[in-house]
């Protein structure tokens, strides 16, 4: 049975994340300590204590990376293919052998810092609107200088739009008029996966240019192409491009199923991707491993 490992992105974080793994697993603690030593802020306290910084992008992203890496270390589970949602693509690359863990956390920390600096944008989750209708509305509202666009294609009935804040607000009003069940503004620091990330993408590209990407030992299903990738240069280029391109999660899951995935294990906080998986394809047996208790249950099955 082929196993897909899923890595969540922003929005799944919570205070105390991975603390039980740190206290209960020597393997998990070793990996977390290594990650904590490779950032220039107190990530341990941000994750383990009640710290408002956890919801700030520059800290959220390293925290999620650390949690996923801790779960993998504590369980020792391996995947036949990997898929990360946005930020989750970076721990996926470490698990696939494309990056070592030191370069992985360095890239995550830089990515989070750059994305946190963007201004003037917003995002909103749209429930119950056909993607074709959503794209048509985005095109109608967008101009050469101001745009709103699909950012996260999460499930057949769930898409996140991103772009200039005023256009996202206008989109929310018109989407409801056109039949969307719900449009919910997201509490984020910027318009991720949109044209407003262009400056961040250029700086990110310069940062990763000298970092070696190795050939993966297992396929990486990337957000940009929505298909398995195995060429290091392609993987690096698409990791960069992802900052301004949509996360095609629905198509990524469909690609994994086409490649034979029968089991999906989400490693990291909460059950965001597990829930989306069930909306996309219920034929895949999907579980989430967040805590040490869940890890033990999974290993004892």
d(CA 139, CA 187): 24
**Looking at the annotation, which residues are catalytic?**
86, 193
Query: What whole-number distance in Å separates Cα of residue 218 and Cα of residue 290?
Result: 23
Q: How far is CA 67 from CA 126, 127, 146, 151, 298, in A?
A: 28, 28, 36, 24, 17
d(CA 261, CA 2): 5
Pairing of strands 261-267, 285-289: parallel
Q: Please report which residue ranges of the chain form alpha helices under DSSP H.
A: 19-24, 26-37, 43-48, 57-75, 89-95, 101-116, 131-141, 165-177, 198-208, 232-241, 249-258, 272-280, 292-300
Give the separation between CA 178 and CA 176, rounded to whole angstroms. 5
Grouping H, G, I as helix, E, B as strand and the rest as coil, residue 38 is: coil
């Amino acid at each position: 049975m082929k196993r897909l490992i899923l890595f969540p992105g922003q929005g799944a974080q919570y205070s105390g994340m991975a603390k039980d793994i740190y206290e209960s697993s020597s393997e998990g603690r070793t990996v977390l300590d290594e990650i904590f030593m490779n950032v220039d802020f107190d990530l341990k306290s941000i994750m383990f204590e009640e710290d408002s910084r956890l919801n700030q992008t520059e800290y959220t992203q390293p925290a999620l990376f650390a949690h996923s890496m801790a779960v993998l270390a504590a369980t020792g589970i391996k995947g036949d293919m990997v898929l990360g949602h946005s930020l989750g693509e970076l721990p996926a690359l470490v698990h696939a052998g494309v990056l070592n863990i030191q370069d992985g956390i360095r890239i995550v920390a830089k990515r989070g810092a750059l994305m946190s600096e963007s201004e003037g944008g917003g995002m909103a989750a749209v429930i119950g609107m056909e993607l074709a209708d959503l794209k048509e509305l985005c095109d109608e509202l967008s101009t050469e200088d101001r745009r709103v666009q699909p950012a996260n294609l999460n499930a057949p009935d769930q898409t996140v739009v991103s772009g200039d804040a005023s256009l996202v607000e206008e989109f929310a009003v018109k989407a409801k008029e056109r039949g969307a069940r719900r449009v919910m503004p997201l509490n984020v620091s910027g318009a991720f996966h949109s044209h407003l990330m262009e400056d961040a993408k250029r700086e990110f590209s310069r940062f990763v240019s000298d970092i070696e990407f190795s050939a993966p030992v297992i396929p990486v299903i990337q957000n940009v192409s929505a298909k398995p990738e195995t060429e290091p240069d392609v993987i690096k280029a698409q990791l960069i491009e992802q900052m301004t391109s949509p996360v095609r999660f629905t198509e990524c899951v469909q690609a994994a199923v086409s490649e034979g995935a029968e089991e999906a294990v989400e490693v990291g906080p909460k059950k965001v991707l597990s829930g989306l998986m069930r909306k996309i394809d219920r034929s895949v047996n999907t579980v989430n491993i967040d805590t040490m208790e869940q890890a033990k249950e999974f290993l004892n099955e």
